[in-house]
Copies of this chain bind each other. A is one copy, B any other.
């Protein structure tokens, strides 16, 4: 908080530490979100009813629970101490957990999204952000793309919202046409679209596996598969040709699958390109201009060289952005999650890729 008295320009040039692309702020309690809702949503919202798995490790870092009460990630001072100050973060990209896209009623989902955006703007982004370290995500309800586009427009001028976000749960892959009002708004306002795990197989959303998995470990391991389907859909549907300025961030969906999936898709494209005549390039060639992927939970093979080889295959130098997932149970420490990297690559992953992607 030492930088509170600096000017904004000074702050901008001064912030050269880590950029952490997945940090979770939580409301202190459900009432905090309800206070931003009109009726009938205020009475209906209870903050819950979204999950069907019990996470056996409770879902958060126990040491991140505020001593005065409230959930982990609900105390900006504690978060600054444990994350921003501890590791010298330049920016933390905040990803609230609204779980709004699983309700049968799209108006309810949209009301939840709006309330979370109001809350995030009023609290974290305005009240606890004198040094500008916190950058926010505009939560949208993908079930009602036109309403989502209006919500993006409502926040587009805000100095600290840097992207739009959704949970990965869906009833249709994200490359399909019903979603295009969202992407049009993202492109218009220069905001990337981030996908974060959540709501898969919950509420009205389908389970992206051959039927429902049994345990949390199975569900959580396979969350990365839904991301792969969404990415293939974005590319093959031609979203990046239709919206040339549109960019996506795949957050917390795994890392090492990227190159193998693109090889497979490129091979299919050789024979099947007649189905997708709108593509002007090989599928994998859309990544550099349009797709970034965040690091946590980073796979760690026993042999560090295997991960470095994977980084080479996937062009991590331009595609990968560091994230910690604070305050969740599977937090990746900036100092311990990665094997030793060449300094130039480390700087791309921990800072420059996100700096450019979010135009910070």
Using CB atoms and an 8 Å cutoff, list the residues of chain A in contact with chain B: 56-57, 168-176, 200, 205-218, 220-222, 224-226, 228-230, 232-233, 236-237, 254-257, 259-261, 263-265, 267-269, 271-272, 274-276, 297, 299-301, 303, 306, 309-310, 312-313, 329-330
Contact = CB atoms under 8 A, between A and B. Distances in A.
A272 B210 contact: no
Nearest to A217: B272
Nearest to A312: B306
Given A222-B228, A256-B260, 12 more contacts: A176-B211, A209-B226, A210-B230, A213-B229, A216-B275, A217-B268, A221-B261, A259-B306, A260-B299, A260-B310, A263-B300, A264-B299
Contacts of A226: 209-210
B173 A218 contact: yes
Contacts of A312: 306
Contact of A297 (B216, B254, B264): B264
A264 B222 CA distance: 9
Contacts of A217: 236, 265, 268-269, 272, 275-276
Given A264-B224, A299-B260, A299-B267, A206 B214 contact: no
A354 to B, nearest CB: 23
Most chain B beta-carbon neighbours within 10 Å: one of A168, A269, A313, A329:
A313
24 contacts: A171-B211, A172-B212, A173-B211, A173-B218, A200-B210, A206-B207, A206-B211, A209-B229, A213-B233, A214-B233, A215-B275, A221-B236, A221-B264, A221-B265, A222-B229, A254-B260, A256-B263, A257-B257, A257-B260, A263-B299, A263-B301, A264-B297, A271-B330, A306-B313
